[in-house]
Amino acid sequence: MRHTLAVLVENQPGVLSHVAGLFSRRGYNIDSLVVGETEDPGISRITLVVEGDEKVIEQVSKQLNKQVEVIKVNDITNEKIVERQLLLLKVAADTAIRMEIMQIVEIFRCRIVDIGKRSLIVEATGDEEKIEAIIRSLRPFGIQELVRTGKVAMVRGTK
């Protein structure tokens, strides 16, 4: 099962390396990793997506909590969350097919952020399923370059 961990850490050099090293030393692959400063500039939030059963995740969480720079570890897998990924995708687009690509972009509520002579760069945000659907829809036109973030996620507020 894929788990999403939200890890608050001290915003210091080397902390990300320590956290990622903990996973690699134990032979666990990180499917997605996003890190950034929080509302407090002294604290960063690392959002990790890893494959593993409950026992593995519990073990890794305990190991993370032992690290001095780690403030808090939350497994938010079963929480109600808002999640997003960012995608930038350069697609081949000569003038003959631009309108068709622009229609797809509009359907997915994406944006064209660059227009070249033979390509367009599309920006999209959404959950993993939406990002995958956009990629599938644009692949037939010829994807020239693709970059995407991992998952960022936040637990929803109570109503």
Q: Which of 41, 56, 75 is the last residue of a domain?
A: 75
Average the pLDDT over 93-109 and give the result. 95
State whether 143 and 98 are in the same domain. Answer: yes
Angle (deg, nearest 10), helices 128-138 and 98-107: 170
Last residue of a domain, one of 75, 92, 116: 75
Note the pLDDT of residue 159: 67
Give pLDDT, residue 29.
85
Do 89 and 132 fall within a single domain?
A: yes
Tell whether 7 and 70 lie within a shared domain: yes
Check whether residue 17 and residue 71 sit in a common domain. Answer: yes
Shared domain for 87 and 35, answered yes or no, is no
Q: What's the pLDDT tens digit per position in 29-86?
A: 899 999 999 999 999 999 999 988 888 888 888 889 888 899 999 999 999 999 999 9
Amino acid 77: pLDDT? 93
- Could you tell me whether strands 70-75 and 111-115 are parallel, antiparallel, or unpaired per DSSP bridges? unpaired
**Do 5 and 61 form a contact (C-beta atoms < 8 A)?**
yes
Are 16 and 58 in a shared domain?
Answer: yes
Q: Are residues 86 and 145 in the same domain?
A: yes
Q: What angle do CA 33, 36, 39 make, to 5 degrees?
A: 140
pLDDT for 112-139, tens place per residue?
999 999 999 999 999 999 999 999 999 9
Q: Single out the residue in 56, 75, 94 at which a domain terminates.
A: 75
Q: CA 39 to CA 104: how far, in whole Å?
A: 36
Domain containing 25 equals 2-75
**Total domains present in the chain:** 2
Residue 127 sits in a domain of what CATH number?
3.30.70.1150
Higher pLDDT: 87 or 65? It is 87
pLDDT of residue 52: 83
